[in-house]
Amino acid sequence: MGKLKVILASMIIICAGCETSSQYSDEVPIRELTRIEKQLVSSADNFSLKIFKKIAEAEQEKNVFISPLSIAMALGMTLNGAEGETYDAMRKTLSLADITQQETNESYQSLIELLTKIDREVIIQIANSIWYRNTIPFKQNFIETNRKYFNATINPMNFGDPATINIINNWVKESTNGKIDKIVEKIDAQTIMFLINAIYFKGTWKYQFDKNKTRDDLFTKQSGEKVPCKMMNLENDFYLSSNDTFTVIDLPYGKGSFSMTILLPDKDKSLNDVLNSLTDATWSGLISNLVKMKKELYMPRFKLEYKLNLNNTLKALGMSVAFDPYGANFKKLYDGSENAYISNVEHKTFVDVNEEGTEAAAVTSVEIGLTSIMDTVIRLDRPFIFVIREKNSNCILFIGKLEDPS
């Protein structure tokens, strides 16, 4: 993949098209968002900035491309199974504190409908699915809630069958138009469920770049190193705004409901300066003050794939309890005696930006595990540790390990 630093967050791009009225006179008029939908979009923007900043800080001088919308939807489905401290922590991380669970579900449902139908010249597909071990008892209300509000396909599967991995990954491949071919590498014995979101986006620029004007050029990395790139060129009226740290350039797709919003650091500033200054208020102010100006734009053509395990990022954002095998509370998800918890959150993305437009895809998988799945037969047929202790004082008298009983 190219070595171009990408400072895009898919939820930000998407929500730029979710304003209550057309920002530009030539955009497609869309319906007014409800109060709750506006709150959800505001919460989603807040989560987008939080998670992107956290990942970008950890991935210094590396390409980053995530879909906060995909992450939020996969976790949003999972949230329907959470209770107590786990529920509160997940809602806080997702910036959903001011919205009830019912309002959250209804708003995701209407947002999916809105985004997928707002512009016929832009393709956006949002798919959700739940895959679960068919021998495990799950709460029916959890299943039906996600089926209703997230349009999730429900798939009871034999997790012991190796073919199950291929079936799940084929769904991922189909749902991303072949851009992401797999998200599940293996299924552990303790894994009982995968909650997966997939997003596919394809938009042609409203004002396309002329391929004949694309030239070999150089791109200067944060370190000062210069690397070759294919630089596209377009002179047009663009919507821009700026502050003392960076400039915002908005590039519309299709009829204008979707756009790519670029944040370019000033020449004496760095991406870290941009990240440090980027807040909800800063973002909202710059977007609301975009002004039309005639400019000549030079933009690198690039294609990249990105993948990341989100466990540590989500823990750092306040969701640690959801990953705790003994502290997580997903009682609304699972009926059994063992404790369910989030064991893994995987995220993969793809983006291709060229003269015609942009093609992008994302998949997020939330894996649910159990503290234990007890077999009816226990075989001590491999090395083990053994302890001789006094039970009243719990004093250990002897401790050893057996590796070879012969």
pLDDT at position 98? 79
Q: Identify the CA nearest to 76 among candidates 53, 35, 54, 44.
A: 44
The segments of the chain whose pLDDT lies below 70 read 1-31, 372-406
pLDDT tens column, 144-176: 999 999 999 999 999 999 999 999 999 999 999
What string of H, E and C letters represents the secondary structure of 86-128? HHHHHHHHCCCCCCCHHHHHHHHHHHHHHHHHCCCCEEEEEEE
CA 292 to chain centre: 32
| Structure confidence at residue 226 (pLDDT) | 86
For 253, the token pair is 């797709």
pLDDT the model gives residue 150: 97
In the chain, what is the greatest distance between 2 CA atoms, to the nearest angstrom? 84
pLDDT recorded at residue 318: 96
Supply the pLDDT for residue 263. Answer: 86
How far is residue 262 from each of residues 12, 188, 216, 257, 350, measured CA to CA in Å? 10, 41, 22, 16, 18
What pLDDT score does 309 carry? 97
Contact 110, 40 (CB under 8 A): no
* Rounded CA separation 339/334 (Å): 8
Tokens matching residue 336? 């059994």
CA 381 to chain CA centroid, nearest Å: 42
Name which of 317, 363, 315 is nearest 342 in CA terms.
315
Query: Radius of gyration over alpha carbons of the chain, in Å?
Result: 24
Please state which architecture CATH assigns to domain 7-204+302-370: 2-Layer Sandwich (3.30)
Write down the domain spans for the chain: 7-204+302-370
According to the model, what pLDDT value does residue 31 have?
67
Q: Are 333 and 144 in contact (CB under 8 A)?
A: no
**What letters, b where the CB count within 10 A reaches 16 and e where it falls short, cover 361-398?**
bbbbbbbbbbeebeeeeeeeeeeeeeeeeeeeeeeeee
